[in-house]
């Protein structure tokens, strides 16, 4: 069993981007600028956004963090997004999800200029991805594709099972893996909460992407010998022995599943760092297109 080390692969992506940023500076061009919006005091969201801002700094990007109280209205938030859309110094806009219940996620996503939608959640970018046209690919599935590429995992002709059909991860992942590209060319089964005989589907998979958000859901009995397992889950579980009061669990029961795998991602240090690396790549691309 080998580890799909997301930290290592993300470092390689960031190093490439750092050099590319130096290239922009050398010819007197503006460096990429990401604006991140964080609403409320969700601890996990705050941690993710802080990691994104830190990664921008490490890579030589400019970043602006905009924090608002949970009480911000949808109209106020949409107005802020319009300001960022119209601000020529901003290349990428990211609104950290989930949003408070009184704000419609769909309206917020649609308000972002598709040319600055570095999360790839806008219907225009999702449509381009479905058609195999260049655009912004959602950061987590894009990061997983970069991870498979980095470790040269063979995907063509393989059977991939994706568990979870969210707009952010599962559904785009199923489209990317089935696409006529490398990595890609998989035969894909998309499983979800209404799937019957989920275990039997998983057991046939050469590649499993677990993205359902249930800690330690995938057990050894569900995994074929030699499978590649990608764990997208990252749930905080109460743990008084930790200083933070919690520990992080993936959707895969790592201890029992790992010995059966050819490759597996750890949690943390697998998909998480790759999501950030992919976001940076999208932001660099947005900047280049706007130059």
Instruction: Tell me: does residue 112 bind ligand GUN (CB under 6 A).
Output: no
Instruction: From the candidates 14, 91, 96, 251, give the one annotated as an active-site residue.
Output: 96
270 to 289: interface string for ligand GUN, x by CB under 6 A: -----x--------------
Instruction: Tell me: does residue 97 bind ligand GUN (CB under 6 A).
Output: yes
- ∠183-49-85 over CA atoms, to 5°? 85
CB 2 within 8 A of CB 226: no
Instruction: From the candidates 119, 206, 231, 251, give the one annotated as an active-site residue.
Output: 119
- 235-238 and 246-249 beta bridge pairing: antiparallel
**β-bridge partners, 162:** 190, 209
CB of 200 to ligand GUN, least distance (A): 30
Question: Which of these ranges, 82-90, 92-100, 101-109, 175-183, lies near ligand GUN under the rule CB under 6 A?
Answer: 92-100
CB of 36 to ligand GUN, least distance (A): 8
E strands within the chain?
Answer: 2-3, 33-39, 62-68, 92-95, 159-163, 187-191, 207-210, 228-231, 235-238, 246-249, 263-264
Question: Which of these ranges, 91-99, 221-229, 242-250, 254-262, lies near ligand GUN under the rule CB under 6 A?
Answer: 91-99
Among 139, 144, 161, 228, binds ligand GUN (CB under 6 A): 139
φ, ψ at 281 (rounded to 5°): -60, -45
Clarify whether 119 is annotated catalytic.
Answer: yes
184 to 213: interface string for ligand GUN, x by CB under 6 A: ------------------------------
**Nearest to ligand GUN of 119, 206 (CB atom):** 119
φ, ψ at 14 (rounded to 5°): -65, -35
Instruction: Tell me, rounded to whole angstroms, the distance of Cα 57 from its chain centroid.
Output: 19
Instruction: Tell me: does residue 94 bind ligand GUN (CB under 6 A).
Output: yes
Instruction: From the candidates 14, 52, 158, 281, give the one annotated as an active-site residue.
Output: 52
Clarify whether 96 is annotated catalytic.
Answer: yes
Q: Which of 55, 64, 60 is CA-nearest to residue 23?
A: 60
The Cα 93–Cα 185 span in angstroms is 31
Residue nearest ligand GUN, CB atom distance: 97
3-state SS assignment for residue 40: coil
Q: Which residues are catalytic?
A: 52, 96, 119
Residues that bind ligand GUN (CB under 6 A): 94-97, 119, 139-140, 168, 275
């Amino acid at each position: 069993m080998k580890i799909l080390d997301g930290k290592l692969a993300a470092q390689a992506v960031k190093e490439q981007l750092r050099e590319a940023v130096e290239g922009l500076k050398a010819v007197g061009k503006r460096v990429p600028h990401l604006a991140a919006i964080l609403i409320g005091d969700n601890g996990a969201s705050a941690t993710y956004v802080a990691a994104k801002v830190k990664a921008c700094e490490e890579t030589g990007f400019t970043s602006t963090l905009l924090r608002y109280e949970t009480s911000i209205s949808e109209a106020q938030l949409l107005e802020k997004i319009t300001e960022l859309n119209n601000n020529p110094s901003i290349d990428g806009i990211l609104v950290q999800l989930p949003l408070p219940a009184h704000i419609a996620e769909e309206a917020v996503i649609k308000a972002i200029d598709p040319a600055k939608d570095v999360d790839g959640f806008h219907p225009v970018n999702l449509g381009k991805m479905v058609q195999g046209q260049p655009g912004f690919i959602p950061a987590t599935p894009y990061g997983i594709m970069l991870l498979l590429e980095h470790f040269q995992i063979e995907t063509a002709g393989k059977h991939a099972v994706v568990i979870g059909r969210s707009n952010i991860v599962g559904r785009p992942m199923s489209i990317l893996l089935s696409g006529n590209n490398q990595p890609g060319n998989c035969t894909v089964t998309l499983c979800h909460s209404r799937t019957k005989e989920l275990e039997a589907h998983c057991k046939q998979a050469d590649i499993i992407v677990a993205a359902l958000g249930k800690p330690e859901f995938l057990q050894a009995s569900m995994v074929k010998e030699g499978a590649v397992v990608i764990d997208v889950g990252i749930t905080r579980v109460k743990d008084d022995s930790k200083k933070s009061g919690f520990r992080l669990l993936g959707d895969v029961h790592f201890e029992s599943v790992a010995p059966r795998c050819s490759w597996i991602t750890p949690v943390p240090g697998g998909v998480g760092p790759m999501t950030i690396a992919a976001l940076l790549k999208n932001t660099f691309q947005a900047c280049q297109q706007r130059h």
